Amino acid sequence: MSPLRTDLDAGRALAHLRSADAELGRLIDAVGPFRLELAVEPSTFASLAEAIIYQQLSPKAAATIFGRFCALFDGAGGCPAPERVLAAGDETLRAAGISGPKLRALRDLAERSVAGEVPTLEEAGAMGDEAIVARLTEVRGIGRWTAEMFLIFTLGRPDVLPAADYGLRRGFQVTFVKPALPSPAEVAERGVWWAPYRTVASWYLWRALEIAV
């Protein structure tokens, strides 16, 4: 893991959020320093392949399967290149515990990566957030939430609000004392106040449940 990209001034972000939303400011004070870390990924393919395998699984189970997936390719040094995934047979990949739908998603991701349809990390760095979301969600098995996680945890984009994320919505409910789980639209509406640091606000909302008693 590496620190959030250095061009984000955490002090300025927190000052803005406290000024824009006093209730969020109280959460910030309760949680403490902003400590979001980025995953160090060798490629967009590696980041998204891991995300696909982790979908709808507990972190422990997903880590086991992802480890088996990487181990299928001796000498690959972690997640294999898309060309190696395309060359592997279905039974080989299934032996790692990868389900049929995820297998098809991985193959589509690999095919699009080889064809140049999935932006490299360097190419993504020069693209806007919504352009990246549009490109990534063309891949089978990758929805907006997965694309947003890529923006936050791989690229370190500062102004991403995954309003449909359940954990974030629960944190919002606790922080703003809502009687029911807020809708993504309600989260997004308040999130306008937090721009251009909605990633920072999101991180604090995820932490809200950890400090709630």
Catalytically active residues are 165
Task: Provide the b/e sequence for 69-81 (b: ≥16 CB within 10 Å).
Answer: bbebbeeeeebbb
Which has the closest alpha carbon to 26: 18, 35, 34?
18
Distance CA 198, CA 206 (A): 12
CA distance 29 to 25: 6
At 88, the amino acid letter reads: A
Identity of the residue numbered 72: L
The 3-class secondary structure across 21-45, one letter per residue, is CHHHHHHHHHHCCCCCEECCCCCHH
User: Which tokens is 23 given?
Assistant: 């209730």
Residue type, 170: R
Cα separation, 209 vs 175, whole angstroms: 9
Amino acid identity of residue 164, one-letter, is A
